[in-house]
Structure 1
Amino acid sequence: MTIGSTAPETFFGHMTSRPGPTRRPGVLAVCGDIDIANCGPFAQAVSEALVRGVRTIDVGELTFFGAAAARALQNALQAIQHSGEVVTLDRVSSTVRLVLDVCGVADDPKVRIVEKDGQPQRRRDWLGEYP
């Protein structure tokens, strides 16, 4: 995905798909704030990455991830709706995890969540974890 550039790295708002010191090939890395102002471009970038075969999204450098971003992510996942494949959200912070839980993204069978400590996690509620 190259928008307005022929450079080997691609930036779209706060998103990058560039391999580098903290980036891995085949991983879409998002950073900064994803909110109502840029959730459209975020959804487009995720959809395009999924069509290209990316199945891991590194969210470890997000500073804000609102409900609009969660909804945009759900919409972008429609790109693989019938494939049976799973998308891994990697390095998920507890704050982002809360938004994913509240907005229902964590319940989607197409989504695997790996928190910053590297462990897959179960869905949480407001008072603790579900059994």
Structure 2
Amino acid sequence: MFKSGRVIFYSIVVVLVFIFLILVSKDDYAGSEMGIWLAILLALGAMLSIVVSSVIHLKNNPKSAKSLLMGVGAILVVCLVSYFISSGNLGDDYEKYNITTESQSRFIDMGLYLTIFLGFTAVVSIIVSESVALLKNQ
């Protein structure tokens, strides 16, 4: 399986290089557009593989589903709270980016609040885990 996976990977890379060269030779800006679409495609592939591997893991280890569902539920609660506390104001800057409804503004605010919350949580968890490890080793 490992060897065939490597062959498939290199085949895909070679095909993408040929597509890139064909597109770049026709248009000056085609290469940049292809890069964006390739990044989107790779991100979607990564998300799909995460979901598939998670489902396979949950199928093999049903006891771990409880902690996964608690984590997903916590993120959903943070999203809902962030959505409802966001103001939804439409300032002058929003018009430049074609954001015209209060709902779009709330989703943007929700994403910002979620990013700040998850970043803060990550920093705090790193500090706490390192502190606990430091105290355990003494």
Name the TM tier (shorter chain). under 0.3
Normalized per residue, the structure richer in strand is 1
Q: Which structure has the larger Rg over C-alpha atoms?
A: 2
TM-score (norm 1): 0.21
Greater relative CO (CA pairs within 8 A, separation 6+): 1
Normalized per residue, the structure richer in helix is 2
